[in-house]
Structure formats: structure tokens, C-alpha cells
Amino acid sequence: MKHIIALILTIISFISFAQEENKELLLAAKKANNFVYQGNELIESQDYVLAEMEYRKAISEKPTTEAAAYNLGTSYYKSGNFDESLYRLQQATKTATSKPEKHKAFHNIGNILMQNKKCKEAVEAYKNALRNNPSDNETRYNLSVAKICAEEQQKQDDQNKDDKQDNQDQNDENKENQDNKDKENQDKEGEDKEDKKDEGDQDKKEGEDEKDDEGKPKDEKKDDKKENGKGDEDKKKEQQKPQPQPGQLSPQQIKNLLEAMNNQEQKVQEKMNAEKQKGVKIKTEKDW
């Protein structure tokens, strides 16, 4: 019995809590709707700043209020703030529970993307709008325009890629030609340097030959220089010997004369010795 009473009290408490929560949710929804209504009134008077404030209040009271997010996105769109409008409308597509609300959100998203020249993304947005309302001719027309725009953009992108590739190929070809040209110039410079070196060696050799007065090869010139050096040395020694003065006998002449006198004196002495032995008197004067 006690358990039954406890269970009944728990159920009553739960019901009371649920009722209180529902009352709070209903009150929040009511406040949110009032803020949306005030925001709509401000939109009508083109006061987008105050309208934005009212829509924000509505979202603060009830974040899932799709009308508040959609209307806020619309107000941003009308004021030219496309980035913020896109964000709010995408938020509205997630919170919306009815197809008409989703259709309007996707339709306006497509319009914003077209404003931003994002035609391919706009095509997908209009397709989503038609999925929620296939009979909307305005959305269908916008979709056809978006498709044409997307095709043109794709052609332009392909052309840009081709042009970029052509430019890259041309640059690669020019670079290759320049590299080949540089290599040819380097090879030519190397050949010129080698030719100049050979010419320099030839000129040097010819210069050495020209210095040889007798026109002899280099090896023979060395031999001649050696022999000439030796002759010059003998000549120098000869010049260093005492030279006789005019009217004087040289040392060699004096030496020869003395030897002749000695020889003559020796002959005279021998003759005198022979005469002594015979007893004949001979002259003692020198005959010279």
C-alpha cells in the first residue's frame, strides 16, 4: 500500500513538473512570437537595425523559432549584409519544421549566392527550394539562370586552366631554350679560351725563336750560349794576362830569348873546352 501511494505521488509530481515546463515553453514561444511580430513591423518601415534587435530577442527566447531566423536573414539581405544573411538563412533551414519555411529559406539562399557570383552553389540551393515546393515558378526560373551562369563560369575556369597550362608550357620551353643557349655560350667561351691559350703558346714560342739571332732552335741556342760562355771565359782570362807595352818584350819573348842565350852559351862553352884541349886560344866575347 505504501508503495502504491509513493508511486501515485511521483506521477503527480512529474505531471506537475511537465505542466510547469510546458507553461514556460509556451510563455517563451509567446514572447518570441511577439518579438518576431515587432520585428516584422520594423521591417515594413525599413528600420532594419531595430528589426534585427527584435529578431535576436526572439531567437534568445526560443532558439528554434524558424520565423525569427528567417526574418532576421531576410532583414540582413535587404540591408545588403549578404554574409550574415546567408548564415541566418542556413540556420533557418535547420530549425524550420515546415516545407514552406524551408522553401523560402533555400530560395533566398540561392539569391544571395547569385549576388556573390557563386552560381554552382546557387543551383543546389534552388534545387533544394524546389524539393520543398516544386510548383514555385520563380524558383524554377532562378534555377535556369543559375545553371547558365554556372556553365559559363565552368567554361571560363577551363579556359583559364588551359591558358595557365599554355603559359606554363611556354615558360618551360623558354627556360629550356635559354638553358640550351647558356650552355652553348659556355661551350663557345671554353673553346675561345682554349684557342686563345694555344695562340698564346704559339706566340710565346715564336717570340723565343725571334730572340735567337742566328735563327737556331732553342736547344741549339742553349749549346751555343754554353760554348760562347766558355769562349768568353777563356778570352777574359787571356785579357787578364799582362800585356806588353809598346817597345817592350813580353815575358814569353824574354823567356825564349833567355833560353836561346843559354843554349848559345852552352855551345860556346863546349867549343872552348874543345879548344883548350887543342891549345888554341879562343875569343871570350859573346857574339851577340
pLDDT per residue as tens digits for the range 150-176: 999 999 999 988 888 878 888 888 888
Q: What is the pLDDT of residue 131?
A: 96
Structural domain contains residue 147: yes
State which residues form the domain around 135. Answer: 98-164
Q: What is the pLDDT of residue 2?
A: 56
How many angstroms separate the CA atoms of 244 and 53, rounded? 142
35 and 77, same domain (yes or no):
yes
Structural domain contains residue 14: no
Mean pLDDT in residue range 183-196: 76
Q: Where is average pLDDT lowest: 127-136, 144-153, 185-194, 207-216?
A: 207-216
61 and 104, same domain (yes or no):
no
Q: Where is average pLDDT lowest: 103-107, 136-140, 183-187?
A: 183-187
50 and 82, same domain (yes or no):
yes
36 and 57, same domain (yes or no):
yes
Structural domain contains residue 79: yes
102 and 84, same domain (yes or no):
no
Q: What is the pLDDT of residue 227?
A: 54
64 and 102, same domain (yes or no):
no
- Examine the fold and report which residue of 164, 182, 205 is the final residue of a domain before the chain moves on: 164
Structural domain contains residue 232: no
pLDDT score of 97 more than 50: yes
Quote the mean pLDDT of the chain.
Answer: 75
73 and 112, same domain (yes or no):
no
Structural domain contains residue 44: yes
117 and 59, same domain (yes or no):
no
Of the candidates 50, 104, 99, 48, the residue with the CA atom closest to the CA atom of residue 77 = 48
Structural domain contains residue 109: yes
104 and 158, same domain (yes or no):
yes
Structural domain contains residue 107: yes
How many angstroms separate the CA atoms of 97 and 55, rounded? 18
Helices then strands, each counted (H, E), the chain: 9, 0
The structural domain count of the chain equals 2
CA dihedral 153, 154, 159, 163 (to 10 degrees): 90
Q: What is the domain-level CATH number for residue 150?
A: 1.25.40
- Examine the fold and report which residue of 164, 193, 215 is the final residue of a domain before the chain moves on: 164
Q: Whole-prediction pTM value?
A: 0.48
- Examine the fold and report which residue of 75, 91, 107 is the final residue of a domain before the chain moves on: 91
Mean pLDDT in residue range 18-26: 62
Q: What is the domain-level CATH number for residue 73?
A: 1.25.40.10
Q: What is the pLDDT of residue 284?
A: 35
Most confident of 45-49, 81-85, 169-173: 81-85
Of the candidates 53, 58, 5, the residue with the CA atom closest to the CA atom of residue 30 = 58
54 and 109, same domain (yes or no):
no
Q: Where is average pLDDT lowest: 21-35, 50-64, 269-283?
A: 269-283
How many angstroms separate the CA atoms of 25 and 65, rounded? 12
Structural domain contains residue 22: no
34 and 76, same domain (yes or no):
yes
Q: What is the pLDDT of residue 287?
A: 39
3-state helix, strand, coil in the chain (%, to 5): 85, 0, 15
Q: What is the pLDDT of residue 286?
A: 33
Q: How far is CA 22 from the centre of its chain?
A: 69
Mean pLDDT in residue range 3-27: 60
